[in-house]
A and B are shown apart, each in its own frame.
Chain A
């Protein structure tokens, strides 16, 4: 569950997109945020699970929460 006081700075819809678009869009979105801001990404690409984790490790933007359901994958990134 999302913490009640968690503020989502930006929502990104990557549903229907295939590799590598969700990563490219996530990068672009997170670049425009301030350090500490939270970005929520929703995708339908099952490859996102591994790829978003790799993106997080390489770029230092932490995944603070992730969930999946109904063929959708949701990631909350905190900009590092």
Chain B
């Protein structure tokens, strides 16, 4: 139940745009709305491309040394095996990142995890506010037309005004 006269509020900053880091803001936003909370996400720096109509989030094992490198298919024993991929390979073999991205997507699908697009869609449908950072748009050359419908554009003050009255504020 809601405490007091207004719903609980959550303010998120999404600052990372890789496939792995795209999940936390959209998982939390969609779930918070399901728990009758109000939500706004401020997309800034590398998080801004998560608002693109054509979402191309990928993942780079080279930049994530702790990422488990496992095969989503094959015999059980092999699937549990964590492949020791040397930096020389993960950083230099062409197509390694797209392969890792594809494997991560397959694993997620197999484990019944929603796609980023699905979670984003649910977040918007259920009323989460998605705010794109104007400054990042200027710096990296984004136009509002490249973003999905319903995105607001604003800056630090827009976020802080909302966050000032929030019960949960997270920087992701």
* CB neighbours of A18 from chain B (8 A): 111-114
A contact patch SS: helix
Please tell me if the beta carbons of A54 and B35 are within 8 angstroms of each other in the complex: yes
Contacts A58-B1, A60-B1; is A20 near B34 (CB within 8 Å)?
yes
* CB neighbours of A45 from chain B (8 A): 112
Q: Does A21 contact B (CB under 8 A)?
A: yes
* CB neighbours of B31 from chain A (8 A): 20, 23-24
Q: Does B36 contact A (CB under 8 A)?
A: yes
Q: What string of 1s and 0s marks CB contacts (under 8 Å) between B1-41 and chain A? A: 10000001000000000000000000100110111110000
Q: Does A17 contact B (CB under 8 A)?
A: yes
Q: Does A36 contact B (CB under 8 A)?
A: no
**What's the interface size class on A, roughly?**
10 to 19
Q: Does B103 contact A (CB under 8 A)?
A: no
Please tell me if the beta carbons of B114 and A55 are within 8 angstroms of each other in the complex: no
* CB neighbours of A26 from chain B (8 A): 34
Closest to A57 in B: B1
Q: What string of 1s and 0s marks CB contacts (under 8 Å) between A17-59 and chain B? A: 1111101101100000000000000000100000000110111
* CB neighbours of B126 from chain A (8 A): 27
Contacts A16-B112, A18-B112, A21-B112; is A59 near B27 (CB within 8 Å)?
no
**What's the interface size class on B, roughly?**
10 to 19
* CB neighbours of B35 from chain A (8 A): 23, 27, 54-55, 58-59
Minimum C-beta distance from A8 to chain B (A): 21
A20 to B123, CA, bound (A): 12
* CB neighbours of A24 from chain B (8 A): 30-31, 34, 114, 122
Q: What string of 1s and 0s marks CB contacts (under 8 Å) between B129-167 and chain A? A: 000000000000000000000000000000000000000
Please tell me if the beta carbons of B112 and A20 are within 8 angstroms of each other in the complex: no
Q: Contact residues of B with A, CB < 8 Å?
A: 1, 8, 27, 30-31, 33-37, 111-114, 119, 122, 126
Q: Contact residues of A with B, CB < 8 Å?
A: 16-21, 23-24, 26-27, 45, 54-55, 57-60
Q: A20-B31, A57-B1, A58-B8 are in contact. List 13 more A-B contacts (CB 8 A).
A: A19-B113, A20-B30, A21-B112, A21-B114, A23-B35, A24-B30, A24-B34, A24-B114, A26-B34, A27-B35, A55-B35, A59-B1, A59-B34
